[in-house]
Amino acid sequence: MQHCSECLPITVVGDLHGQLADLRKIIDRCGDPVKNTYVFLGDYVDRGTQGLELAILLFSYQVRYPDRVFLLRGNHEDINTTSTYGFYDECMMKYGRYGEWVYLMVINAFNHLPLAALIGGRVLCMHGGLSPHIQTLEDIERPGWSLSCRGISFSFDETVVEQFCQKHGIDLIVRAHQITGEMIRGGHRMFAGGRLVTIFSAPNYQNMMNDSCVLRIKKNFVVNFLIFRPVARRRQLTLPRRQSMQSYLVRC
């Protein structure tokens, strides 16, 4: 668990999936991390073409501004997922025989990211959502040195959200992880009477022409949404699913 208590205002960013140009647009609009605080909810790589550059930029920000930039772990910060959905192939294509070493170094860094952040004791940020195994907020532990396999997911309804918030004194839960049909316009979705919000920060994700959104939490805990409209991509490199460890071909 990452605690962010004296950092307001804060910008919370959802899935980016290797869309580096869109991350830069967010920073241009919301401010440089020198003076502005960010919480990123995970899913930095896979499916997009610049996951490696995006991850390195975020790592650099966190090293340079450890009290301003907080990175959480999503389900795509995982060796099993990234070996299937594009990040492994991206590293191999960009670095050749050194690609696997680069890939494993990034995965090792991902393994140590926290799973959740608590802002001012009132706003809980995470990638996927709630779990029936969480009895106290301290149950959300920072990962250790071992690799973790992708687990089973859970669905939860409004009652679960209300009970969780009441039990732990939480005003708002902010999550990412998915984009639904109703999020195509606006890039976010409210749930459980506004106690839980889902945001998605990659516009035109896989050519869906969807809006994207980041969430801003001000010093008085007033929340607003910044929406980014999609721009059609004229040309985009498509990373293939992993086929072989021995041969990789980029077709432009």
Active-site residues, by number, are: 76
Omega into 9 within 30° of 0, i.e. cis? yes
Contact 32, 38 (CB under 8 A): no
Element (H, E) at 41: none
- The residue type found at 76 is H
Cα separation, 75 vs 17, whole angstroms = 11
Edge-to-edge order in the sheet of strand 172-175: 2-4, 116-119, 123-126, 172-175, 196-199, 188-191
Contact 175, 196 (CB under 8 A): yes
Half-sphere exposure of 15 (CA within 13 A, CB side): 30
Cα separation, 108 vs 106, whole angstroms = 5
Contact 172, 195 (CB under 8 A): yes
Contact 183, 210 (CB under 8 A): yes
Rg (CA), the chain: 18
